[in-house]
Chains A and B, each alone.
Chain A
Amino acid sequence: MSTAAGPTVPSLSGVAARAGQQTPAADRPVKIDAQHLNFYYGDTRALEDISVRIRRNIVTAFIGPSGCGKSTFLRTLNRMNDIIPGTRVEGKVLIDDTDIYGPGVDVVALRRQAGMVFQKSNPFPKSVFDNVAYGLRINGMASNRSELAGRVEESLKQAALWDEVKDRLDDSALAMSGGQQQRLCIARALAVRPDILLMDEPASALDPIATQRIEELVYDLKKAYTIVIVTHNMQQAARVSDYTAFFWLGRLVEYDRTDKIFTNPSEKLTEDYVTGRFG
């Protein structure tokens, strides 16, 4: 697999495989199990033989330089890449032991199960209430108005936004601050009761205070959700995550407990990256 690696790349073969064994026996069951995943944009391979086991109810951080495939990999986990024409997946992604790329998989149900929060917050140009209610409505998840309102309130509370917006549920979501918009997007994702939360640089466009709120939220949410978070911010990865995966040029270089990745990585490449001695 590492034939095209070039001289600067240390032998990567087997890293991912070894990572599995090096991982200290986690007490949590595996939630997402990617096996030998390749991903192509047209003819360009963006992911190369990724194998990783993400465990339940912990936070896993994806780090790596820009363009290394973090977002691409994250988006294979809820099949968001399906909507990009000309893309192709090889390999398997098991979620709760079911291959999400297998035949007969209900993509709608999958996306409901694996909620996603984007780098650029993307509230719909609707009211705060309607933003959170959107997923419930399209999926027919609330049978009447009061149930809907209850679920909306519950989700906003989970996203630590309720107190700030409870008096302005009918205001346009676009009138809120950037940090509030991002928490609204988190609430929107939580409303359809996923059990996985995929977050692609959710705080990269936010100020330190808003970022801290998101981080606290992630910390709270991991009790109930399996969270994968992409971040460029090493401190953030170190603060919020239990496990960290380091990607480089479309490959998974190292995957281990976060403290190990940041203090005592097994790969030179990882060490160079987390210490900022890179490129």
Chain B
Amino acid sequence: MSPSTSLRASPSTRLRASPSARLRARRFEFLIEWALFLCALLSIGTTAGILVVLAVETFAFLREVPITDFLFGTEWTPLFATPRFGVLPLVMGTVLVSAIAMVVALPAGLLSAIYLSEYANPRVRRVIKPVLEILAGVPTVVYGYFALLFVTPVLQRVVPGLAGFNALGPGIVMGIMILPLVSSLSEDAMQGVPRGLREGSFALGATRMQTSLRVVLPAAFSGITAAFILAASRAIGETMIVAIAAGQQPRLTWNPLVPIETMTAYIVQVSLGDTPQGTLEYRTIFAVGMLLFLGTFGLNLVSAWLRGRYREEYA
């Protein structure tokens, strides 16, 4: 023990651990730290592994199919006798369904965020927010059957020519699914706007609506955009709803009334089928998966960057 501690005859010296016990404790700490580090490494490693597999299989695929045929071809018939590997129909199906979802989720999500953030009193907000978040916790397979067995039949009564499988029904349901995300993240962004800005606006005679639309929304713009992009990326990656209710017909069309197929739904279709491993047909799912990954990853990056910028603005 150092002289300074032995001089202090306070009761706390008695509570001190002996040197060997301290050493043991330190070694234990060290082990814990390593165990935690390994856990972190494991999850990073898994992700990296997935990426490597994706990349390897994609390269194998691209050795047989020229990348231009893949990216710009307009026919996707990999399982036919004369296969075509143009991914555009799948991309279009994905974009179409996601666009419908965004058309539903953006206005509704934004309005609900404005209401929650600028109008609702704190007590109402405390009730509504968790309810919205429960909506986000409903398993997507439930949404899928909801689209197929409820929404589409109802729509068929008002929309002539709507097929049993289509982009419209799943798009709308997907919009409902991502609505809580849009609403919650947008509300967070709006809550991040300093109260002083609102007061400055009210003090000039602005109404609540004027303050929300002209001060709070623009001030929260990058945060809200980040929320939108994240929601779009969620829509693009969503699988169950479209696999169940949108059909399995890759089709280059903007028509929301007919069956289509998205990238995710295609991957499900082939994974569940009996395509033998190692074949070109099998490799298509990795190529499509890679494209999907790059798309959503890019969107997430933009979203994260915007959110970072937003945080800087009001640090």
Residues of A within 8 A of B (CB): 78, 80, 83, 85, 108-109, 111-112, 115-116, 118, 120, 122-126, 134-135, 138-139, 185, 188-189, 192
- List the count of A-B residue pairs having beta carbons below 8 Å apart: 68
Cα separation A254 to B237 with both chains bound (whole Å)? 68
The residue among A138, A139, A185, A192 with the most chain B CB atoms within 10 A of its own CB is: A138
Known: A85-B121, A118-B196, A138-B214. A125 touches B219 (CB 8 A): yes
Residues of A contacting B218 in the complex (Cβ-Cβ under 8 angstroms): 124-126
> Smallest distance from the beta carbon of B104 to chain A beta carbons, Å?
30
**Interface range on chain B (Cβ under 8 Å from partner):** 20 to 34
Contact assessment for A80 and B205 in the assembled complex, using a CB-CB cutoff below 8 Å? no
Contact assessment for B199 and A83 in the assembled complex, using a CB-CB cutoff below 8 Å? yes
Cα separation A83 to B195 with both chains bound (whole Å)? 11
Cα separation A108 to B219 with both chains bound (whole Å)? 22
The residue among B201, B204, B215 with the most chain A CB atoms within 10 A of its own CB is: B204
Contact assessment for B122 and A124 in the assembled complex, using a CB-CB cutoff below 8 Å? no
> Smallest distance from the beta carbon of A26 to chain B beta carbons, Å?
27
> Smallest distance from the beta carbon of B190 to chain A beta carbons, Å?
13
Known: A122-B194, A124-B215, A126-B218. A192 touches B199 (CB 8 A): no
Contact assessment for A189 and B122 in the assembled complex, using a CB-CB cutoff below 8 Å? no
Cα separation A134 to B214 with both chains bound (whole Å)? 9
Per-residue contact bits, chain B 215-241, to A (CB 8 Å; 1 contact, 0 not): 100110000000000000000000000
Contact assessment for B204 and A122 in the assembled complex, using a CB-CB cutoff below 8 Å? no
> Smallest distance from the beta carbon of B95 to chain A beta carbons, Å?
33
Known: A85-B121, A125-B218, A138-B210. A189 touches B196 (CB 8 A): no
Contact pick for B205, options A120, A122, A124, A192, CB 8 Å: A192
> Smallest distance from the beta carbon of A34 to chain B beta carbons, Å?
19
Residue B142 CB within 8 A of the other chain: no
Cα separation A189 to B218 with both chains bound (whole Å)? 20
Cα separation A115 to B204 with both chains bound (whole Å)? 7
Contact assessment for B313 and A108 in the assembled complex, using a CB-CB cutoff below 8 Å? no
Closest residue to B194 on the A side, CB-wise?
A: A122
Known: A125-B313, A134-B214. A111 touches B204 (CB 8 A): yes
Contact assessment for B199 and A122 in the assembled complex, using a CB-CB cutoff below 8 Å? yes
Cα separation A116 to B196 with both chains bound (whole Å)? 12
Residue B2 CB within 8 A of the other chain: no
Contact assessment for A120 and B202 in the assembled complex, using a CB-CB cutoff below 8 Å? no
Cα separation A64 to B79 with both chains bound (whole Å)? 83
Residues of B contacting A108 in the complex (Cβ-Cβ under 8 angstroms): 205-207
Residue B111 CB within 8 A of the other chain: no
Contact assessment for B197 and A122 in the assembled complex, using a CB-CB cutoff below 8 Å? yes
Contact assessment for B200 and A192 in the assembled complex, using a CB-CB cutoff below 8 Å? no
**Further contacts, 16 of them, CB under 8 A, given A85-B122, A134-B206, A192-B205:** A85-B121, A112-B204, A115-B203, A116-B203, A118-B199, A122-B199, A124-B215, A124-B219, A125-B219, A126-B218, A134-B201, A134-B214, A135-B204, A135-B205, A185-B200, A188-B200
Closest residue to B197 on the A side, CB-wise?
A: A122
Cα separation A109 to B204 with both chains bound (whole Å)? 9
Contact assessment for B204 and A83 in the assembled complex, using a CB-CB cutoff below 8 Å? no
Per-residue contact bits, chain B 165-204, to A (CB 8 Å; 1 contact, 0 not): 0000000000000000000000000000010111111111
Cα separation A165 to B151 with both chains bound (whole Å)? 57
Residues of B contacting A189 in the complex (Cβ-Cβ under 8 angstroms): 203-204
Contact assessment for A124 and B197 in the assembled complex, using a CB-CB cutoff below 8 Å? yes
Cα separation A210 to B79 with both chains bound (whole Å)? 75
Contact assessment for A118 and B206 in the assembled complex, using a CB-CB cutoff below 8 Å? no
> Smallest distance from the beta carbon of B16 to chain A beta carbons, Å?
42
Residues of B contacting A122 in the complex (Cβ-Cβ under 8 angstroms): 194, 196-197, 199-200
Task: Give the 9 A-B residue pairs with the shortest CB-CB distance, closest first.
Answer: A122-B196, A135-B204, A116-B203, A112-B205, A122-B200, A108-B205, A111-B205, A138-B210, A138-B206
Contact pick for A192, options B198, B204, B207, B214, CB 8 Å: B204
Contact assessment for B200 and A124 in the assembled complex, using a CB-CB cutoff below 8 Å? yes
Contact assessment for A120 and B201 in the assembled complex, using a CB-CB cutoff below 8 Å? no
> Smallest distance from the beta carbon of A127 to chain B beta carbons, Å?
11
Contact assessment for B205 and A139 in the assembled complex, using a CB-CB cutoff below 8 Å? yes
Contact assessment for B202 and A124 in the assembled complex, using a CB-CB cutoff below 8 Å? no
Cα separation A108 to B206 with both chains bound (whole Å)? 7
Residues of B contacting A83 in the complex (Cβ-Cβ under 8 angstroms): 198-199, 202
Known: A124-B219, A134-B214. A188 touches B196 (CB 8 A): no
Residues of A contacting B196 in the complex (Cβ-Cβ under 8 angstroms): 118, 120, 122
Contact assessment for A118 and B202 in the assembled complex, using a CB-CB cutoff below 8 Å? no
Contact assessment for B205 and A138 in the assembled complex, using a CB-CB cutoff below 8 Å? yes
> Smallest distance from the beta carbon of B265 to chain A beta carbons, Å?
42
Contact assessment for B219 and A188 in the assembled complex, using a CB-CB cutoff below 8 Å? no
Per-residue contact bits, chain B 73-97, to A (CB 8 Å; 1 contact, 0 not): 0000000000000000000000000
Contact assessment for B313 and A188 in the assembled complex, using a CB-CB cutoff below 8 Å? no
Residues of B contacting A123 in the complex (Cβ-Cβ under 8 angstroms): 200
Closest residue to A120 on the B side, CB-wise?
A: B196
